[in-house]
Amino acid sequence: MTYYRMALGAATVLALAIPAKAQDKTLTIAGSGGVVKEITEKVFLPAYEEATGWKTNFVAAESNIMLEVRTMLASGKMLYDAMEVSASNYPIGVKDGLLAKIDYDLLDPNGELPEKAKKEFGVVAAAYSTVLVQRLDKNPEGRKIESWADFWDVETFPGPRSLNRQPQYTLEFALLADGVATDDLYDVLGTEEGLDRAFAKLDEIKDHIPVWWTSGAQSVQLLSDGEVFYSSTYNGRVTKLQESGIPAEIVWNGGALHTSYVGIPKTAPNYEAAHDWIRIRTMRPDLEIEYVKQLPYPNFAPGLFDQMSEDMARNMPTYPENAEVQFVANDEFWAANIDHIRERFDEWLLE
Amino acid sequence: MSVADLSFNQVTKRFGKVVALDKFDLDVAPGEFVTFLGPSGSGKTTALNILAGFAAATEGDVRIGDRSVVNLPPEKRNVGMVFQSYSLFPHLTVFENVAFPLRLRGTRGAALTARVIAALEMVHLGDYAARMPSELSGGQRQRVAFARAVIFDPPVLLMDEPLSALDLKLREQMQLEIKRFHAQIGCTIIFVTHDQGEALTLSDRVAVMRDGQIAQVGSPQEIYDRPNSQYVAEFIGRTNLFRLNAGQGGTWTIDGLGVTMPPVRGANATNTLLSVRPEKIRPVDSDEAGQVSFDARLTQVIFQGDHVQYEAVSSGGSPLYFQDYRGPGTHLMKRGEQIRLGFDPGDAVPVARDVA
Amino acid sequence: MKFRQILWLFLPATLLLVAFIAAPSFDLFRASVFDPDFTTEHFERLINRSVYLDVMWRTIRVSLTVAVLCTLIGYPVAFFINLQPRRRQTLLLFLILIPMWMSILIRTYAWIVILGRDGLVNQMLAMLGLATEPMQMLYTSGAVLAAMVQILLPIQILTCYAAMTEIDFDLIRAARVLGARPRQALARVFLPLSLDGTLTGLVIVFMLSMGFFITPALLGGRQDTMIANLIEFQVQRLNWSFAAALGVVLLVLTVGMIVALRGAGKLLARRVLKGGL
């Protein structure tokens, strides 16, 4: 599937190369496909076009956007003005210098955005969680998974499982299963012993994971097909799974809360206009509520929760009750440590 | 040395509605060299395939020696065979090609080597044992194929147009070698060809095939000198064919020549033609005693060195040709010359006319 | 015409080879040792960590297994087709070609449908009462092997078939009439003469297997990772140089194994030709 996406990505780059020159007042935005694309095209793009008089060109370049940006940078022809930056891509973008700094004087002259929404190279566009999902119909009679420790308990909850083929958050889940408190996660993971401890815990579950997922779509497909009974996945995917009649339930406990961003690639042709787009995308509660109605990935648009019912708020990863039992994914930790941990993780997978 | 007689007994082969061989009967004596001669489609190859075991007879029996072979697979019939395209095994050396039948028969070691070398020496290829077939000339390949076919001392050897792929000079040379090998080995040989010259040169007997049947079988001389039908007369060598008309007093007149000749035994005007070979016709002085003679005009002179071929038209308007072997004292005639020609009535052969 | 005058006729072919083979290969090699300065660390990593050696060895082993299985299945199938009347041969070859019109991706997905926990095989087993629990077939080495053999088999069948049609049928007749039983004619004449084509097919299947990527990625578990998967993985991780080093290794291993297979094939051929069978 990744192969597929890479091919799509390459095709997109080629397709873009042609019209880019003809239209000057067009903002090219790269982002994910699927539902995100649908909503973006319905809600945010028209609002932007109305506010600025510019045209927009939204490119669903889900596969490996950093790979594309890197290629464009190397070729000296940057085709994107703005882009979605996932939680895991943000540290890479920062570390490898693929992103331009956000000019907050330009974006938010009145200082309306809360501090936690503002990163040096991106503005929080959405918050979501990596959570444990269980197939209730596969559980033993009267039992329910309530923690990562239960996920690791193959005696009580037998059956195939899946985890992300990335060390990010997977290692945190292992430590949680091993009894580490959420507040201590990154302190433990930051030490050699802590890392060993996480891998030792992963060793226990290794044989019960027939397949490691490489995309969110794959993780819900595996759950939907019954190929695995329990898996980590993104909370936004679970609604669709439930709607298709699969008795799936989220375990918020021990979930990883991430923020993803909207950013500007270095050498973007329309740097200033990109800020207008970021403002539309992150600071308009009236638009954001439309987005959140479709996808439970809220951002920090000022006054967003005032627009929501209690029921709806309860399904938000940022809903206080949910946020309380989760840990905040630490992108900076991963930015600093990704290389050596990932190398070890990849090699561990091959063992 | 082993040798066997063989016989076809009322053998019929049908492919669907097509009759390839029709009640084929032939007895071959031990050590005899018999040629199946005929154009393609005459049934000669079918007869050979049935004898080799590559095709099953629809009806009839085939015997080699004293046993019926119709139910035996090819490998049990113990016959040697030389193929038209040599069919040497391209992945084996000359030595291994020749050794192939012996290995299958369990011969090993020094005995094997000695026999293979002897066979190769017989065909003058003693130095070529280590070569691959692709490194040999056509004639050499044919000799290897021959050595391979006879090394296991088969009582019967089959040869399927073995010389047709060779050029004329090599073919004539190989014909002589085959005659020599036959004298040396002594086995019964069935030889298939469409080349009448080859058949005459090699065979003890020739079976002229036509439409799945034998048109005539006999020694080369019989076949040539006493053809029993227009078909055989025309297929073997060249000939002049004249129509006959009943004359007075039981004599015959030859159509177009305007001459009368004594009655011929077993012939009648409606179904018989008179065959006179070109070499039997010669210029005569006037009415030489015992000759049938007539006037003619030369229309073509073809000089061939040792002989001259003349084409002529009789005064009665019949085209004919004759040959002159340039004996002592003969001179070359010219086109357009008026001459008198004649032949000995004893050299004229009545043949059954083909039903068109 | 003088040789020097027609030399320019070689130009298009040469340019094509340089542009599409020589230059990318050189670039691949360059990328594997410059990151951005000259370094051998990527190759050292490959050699010093047993996991990578395992993947290389597995890639060779899986490819060899697939090639041998394709040959063991493909040769008899080709032989069978070769025995049929001409018109039926055409039909059978056509049937064998049909799956080759479908993309490898689609054929691989079909295997997911067949081998899944809720797939055809498990449903059938359950229906026949042969299994109470679904068998884990997906994400196993067996699934990868089965799919790769299924995908590559037509190639071997066609190669064997092509080799067999080259064989003059009179050679088989000659062997028979000279004393060989059908089995002997097969072993001493038909088999050796089709050996070269069969080995060619085996090498082609092996070569294609070495670069196989989608099938192990979709049907295999982490224990079925092959070099191509590793390369894709490293590219995803933006580890260009390490991916390039893996690419060089894959190239070298493939070429090396082809040379070795050809050599082994020649030895085998010599043995077979000596009447060893």
Nearest to A326 by CA among A237, A243, A232: A232
Query: Quick one: A136 and A107 in the same domain?
Result: no
Both tokens of residue B72?
């035996």
Query: Quick one: A56 and A105 in the same domain?
Result: yes
Residues of chain A with C-beta less than 8 angstroms from the C-beta of C49: 347
What is each CA distance from C71 to C78, C158, C193, in whole angstroms? 10, 11, 15
Nearest neighbour of C118 by CB, restricted to A1, A226, A349: A226
Computed from CA positions of residues C125, C127, C131, C135, in that sequence, does the dihedral angle turn out positive or negative? positive
Query: Quick one: A211 and A228 in the same domain?
Result: yes
Query: CA of A94 to nearest chain C CA: how many angstroms apart?
Result: 14
Confidence of residue A24 (pLDDT cuts 50, 70, 90): low
Nearest to C150 by CA among C55, C222, C221, C219: C219
Domain count, chain A: 2
Nearest neighbour of A66 by CB, restricted to C55, C138, C238: C238
- pLDDT for C191-201, tens place per residue? 999 998 999 99
Query: Quick one: A102 and A198 in the same domain?
Result: no
Query: Quick one: A232 and A333 in the same domain?
Result: yes
Q: Alpha carbon B77 to chain centroid distance?
A: 25
Query: Quick one: A94 and A12 in the same domain?
Result: yes
Q: Alpha carbon A69 to chain centroid distance?
A: 18
Residues of chain A with C-beta less than 8 angstroms from the C-beta of C214: 3
Residues of chain C with C-beta less than 8 angstroms from the C-beta of B85: 168, 170
Query: Quick one: A292 and A183 in the same domain?
Result: no
Place of tokens 């019926």: B68
C contact test, residue of A162, A350, A351 with most C CBs within 10 A: A350
Q: Where are the alpha helices (DSSP H) in B312-354?
A: none
Place of tokens 């840990």: A327
Q: Which domains does chain C possess?
A: 40-276 (1.10.3720.10)
* pLDDT digit string (tens) for chain B, length 356 residues: 588 899 999 999 999 999 999 999 999 999 999 999 999 989 999 999 999 999 999 999 999 999 999 999 999 999 999 999 999 999 999 999 999 999 999 999 999 999 999 999 999 999 999 999 999 999 999 999 999 999 999 999 999 999 988 898 999 999 999 999 999 989 999 999 999 999 999 999 999 999 999 999 999 999 999 998 999 999 998 899 988 877 776 777 888 887 877 776 666 666 788 899 999 998 887 767 778 888 999 999 999 988 999 999 998 888 999 998 888 888 889 999 999 999 988 888 888 888 75
Query: Quick one: A171 and A88 in the same domain?
Result: no
Identify the residue with better confidence: B304 or C271: B304
Both tokens of residue B115?
């026999």
- pLDDT for B121-144, tens place per residue? 999 999 999 999 999 999 999 999
Strand partners, B68: B63
Q: Would you state the pLDDT for residue B78?
A: 93
d(CA C225, CA C234): 13
- CATH number assigned to the domain covering B6-231: 3.40.50.300
Residues of chain B with C-beta less than 8 angstroms from the C-beta of C166: none
Q: What is the mean pLDDT of residues A171-193?
A: 95
pLDDT for A13 beyond 70:
no
B220 touches chain C (CB under 8 A): no
- Residue A197 maps to which CATH number? 3.40.190.10
Residues of chain C with C-beta less than 8 angstroms from the C-beta of B90: 171, 193
What is each CA distance from A123 to A31, A86, A262, in whole angstroms? 14, 11, 5
- pLDDT for A42-60, tens place per residue? 999 999 999 999 999 999 8
pLDDT for A5 beyond 50:
no
Query: CA of C90 to nearest chain B CA: how many angstroms apart?
Result: 23
d(CA A198, CA A176): 9
pLDDT for A185 beyond 90:
yes
Place of tokens 């140089």: C241
d(CA B305, CA B317): 29
Q: Would you state the pLDDT for residue C182?
A: 94
d(CA B207, CA B289): 38
d(CA C47, CA A86): 34
Residues A299-303: contacts with CB under 8 Å, at least 24 apart = A299/A117, A299/A124, A299/A125, A299/A126, A299/A127, A300/A113, A300/A114, A300/A116, A300/A117, A300/A124, A300/A127, A302/A112, A302/A113, A302/A114
B contact test, residue of C166, C167, C172, C177 with most B CBs within 10 A: C177
Query: Quick one: A198 and A287 in the same domain?
Result: no
A189-203 b/e with 16+ CB inside 10 Å = b? beeeebbebbbebbe
Query: Quick one: A212 and A153 in the same domain?
Result: yes
Length of chain B: 356
Q: What is the span of the domain harbouring residue A8?
A: 2-127+258-325
- CATH number assigned to the domain covering B245-352: 2.40.50.100
Confidence of residue A293 (pLDDT cuts 50, 70, 90): confident
Residues C177, B77: C-beta atoms closer than 8 Å = yes
d(CA A129, CA A252): 8
Q: What single DSSP character describes residue B91?
A: T
Nearest to B106 by CA among C187, C192, C272, C180: C180
B33-55 b/e with 16+ CB inside 10 Å = b? bbbbbbeeebbbbbbbbbbbbbb
Q: Would you state the pLDDT for residue A207?
A: 94
Q: What single DSSP character describes residue A12?
A: H
For residue C226, the chain A residue with the least C-alpha distance is: A350
C219-230 b/e with 16+ CB inside 10 Å = b? bbbbbbbbbbbb
Q: Would you state the pLDDT for residue B146?
A: 94
Residues C179, B101: C-beta atoms closer than 8 Å = yes
**One-character DSSP codes across B208-251:** EEETTEEEEEE-HHHHHHS-SBHHHHHHSS--EEEEEEE-GGG-
Kind and range of the H or E run holding A236: helix A235-243
CB-based contacts of A238: which residues, under 8 Å, 6+ apart?
A131, A133, A220, A248, A250
Partner C, chain A 74-113, Cβ-Cβ below 8 Å: 92, 96
Domain residue spans of chain B = 6-231, 245-352
For residue C169, the chain B residue with the least C-alpha distance is: B87
**Mean pLDDT for all residues in chain C:** 91
pLDDT for C276 beyond 70:
no
pLDDT for C277 beyond 80:
no
- pLDDT for C209-229, tens place per residue? 999 999 999 999 998 999 999
Q: Would you state the pLDDT for residue A19?
A: 45
- pLDDT for C159-201, tens place per residue? 999 999 999 999 999 999 999 999 999 999 999 999 989 999 9
Both tokens of residue A147?
């923690």
CB-based contacts of C47: which residues, under 8 Å, 6+ apart?
C53
Nearest neighbour of C139 by CB, restricted to A66, A210, A349: A210
Query: Quick one: A221 and A336 in the same domain?
Result: yes
Asked if A308 contacts A292 with a C-beta cutoff of 8 angstroms, the reply is yes
- pLDDT for A108-156, tens place per residue? 999 988 776 888 999 999 998 999 999 999 999 999 999 999 999 999 9
d(CA B36, CA B48): 9
Of A34-38, A165-169, C23-27, C122-126, least confident by mean pLDDT is A34-38
Residues A350, C54: C-beta atoms closer than 8 Å = yes
Q: Alpha carbon B271 to chain centroid distance?
A: 26
Residues of chain B with C-beta less than 8 angstroms from the C-beta of C175: 89, 100
Residues C232, A3: C-beta atoms closer than 8 Å = yes
Computed from CA positions of residues B190, B193, B195, B196, in that sequence, does the dihedral angle turn out positive or negative? positive
Confidence of residue C273 (pLDDT cuts 50, 70, 90): low
pLDDT for A22 beyond 60:
no
Nearest neighbour of C171 by CB, restricted to B80, B81, B89: B89
B109 touches chain C (CB under 8 A): no
d(CA B173, CA C248): 63
| Phi (first) and psi of residue B30, to 5 degrees | -60, 135
Query: Quick one: A336 and A313 in the same domain?
Result: no
Q: What is the mean pLDDT of residues A14-23?
A: 44
